[in-house]
């Protein structure tokens, strides 16, 4: 029996990353799930491999990249990320550097590590970005910059690798119900037509993977039917 194709998903322990990982496991992939505190018990599947790594730390990320260079990878999905939305002068320097590294530098390093493998296998690179890559919002200067940078990286790499059979897609979800908002002052609406679900983004990934290989959705933007946002009540 041929071995299962390998997929790498960052941020696999929760939210969008977890939903995508579950979808890939159902599709028959061997999934290497990366997160700070992830364990095999998060999925308890024979073809799931947990790898703990803090992708906002340079040394840990580079060490992980050296390991991934030895793997035969078919799919890389960069999903890990976080955002803080405050007046720029109020952001701590550590928040700025960590957000930039996790949202932008880590995906570029991981892609660098596995790109030869992805091209050889005619695989897929999917970067889970944000609607903020396509617009400007107040209190989101750093976050938007990292996401716009990730989109520019993805678009440029698509052009660079078009002579190969590698498919590259940038997914731009709007507000999605997840742990992303746990430490923020706002969250998604309770109304289903005013938010996205993590499963919606996982369905988009499945759509990308099941399309004819000669066609590539280079940009995939998902919006809720209506707009909704809820400010958290101070306790």
Direct distance between the N- and C-terminal alpha carbons of the chain, in angstroms, rounded to an integer: 57
pLDDT tens across the length of the chain (235 residues): 357 999 999 999 999 999 999 999 999 999 999 999 999 999 989 999 999 999 999 999 999 999 999 999 999 999 999 999 999 999 999 999 999 999 999 999 999 999 999 999 999 999 999 999 999 899 999 999 999 999 999 999 999 999 999 999 999 999 999 989 988 988 999 999 999 999 999 999 999 999 999 999 999 999 999 999 999 877 5
Tokens matching residue 47: 């073809």
How far is it, in rounded angstroms, from Cα 142 to Cα 148?
Answer: 10
- Return the CATH superfamily for domain 6-231: NAD(P)-binding Rossmann-like Domain (3.40.50.720)
What are the residue boundaries of the structural domains of the chain, listed by start?
Answer: 6-231
Q: Which two tokens stand for residue 170?
A: 């940038």
Which one-letter DSSP state was computed for residue 48? E
Closest to 204 in 3D by CA, of 1, 78, 23 = 23
Assigned token pair, 108: 């570029």
Q: What pTM value is reported for the model? A: 0.95
Rounded (10°) angle between helices 93-100 and 141-160? 20
């Amino acid at each position: 029996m041929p071995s299962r194709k390998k997929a790498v998903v960052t941020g696999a322990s929760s939210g969008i990353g977890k939903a995508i990982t579950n979808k890939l496991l159902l599709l028959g992939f061997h999934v290497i799930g990366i997160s700070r505190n992830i364990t095999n018990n998060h999925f308890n599947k024979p073809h799931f491999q947990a790898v703990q790594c803090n992708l906002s730390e340079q040394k840990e990320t580079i060490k992980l990249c050296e390991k991934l260079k030895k793997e035969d990878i078919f799919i890389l999905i960069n999903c890990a990320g976080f955002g803080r939305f405050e007046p720029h002068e109020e952001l701590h320097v550590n928040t700025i550097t960590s957000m930039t590294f996790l949202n932008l530098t880590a995906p570029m390093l991981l892609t660098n590590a596995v790109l030869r493998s992805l091209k050889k296998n005619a695989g897929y690179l999917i970067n889970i970005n944000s609607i903020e890559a396509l617009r400007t919002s107040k209190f989101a200067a750093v976050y938007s910059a990292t996401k716009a940078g990730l989109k520019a990286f993805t678009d440029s790499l698509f052009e660079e690798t078009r002579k190969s059979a590698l498919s590259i897609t940038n997914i731009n979800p709007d507000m999605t119900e997840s742990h992303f908002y746990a430490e923020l002052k706002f969250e998604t609406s309770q109304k289903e037509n005013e938010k996205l679900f993590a499963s919606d983004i996982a369905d988009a990934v499945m759509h990308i993977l099941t399309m004819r290989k000669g066609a590539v959705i280079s940009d995939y933007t998902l919006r809720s039917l209506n707009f909704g946002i809820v400010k958290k009540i101070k306790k």
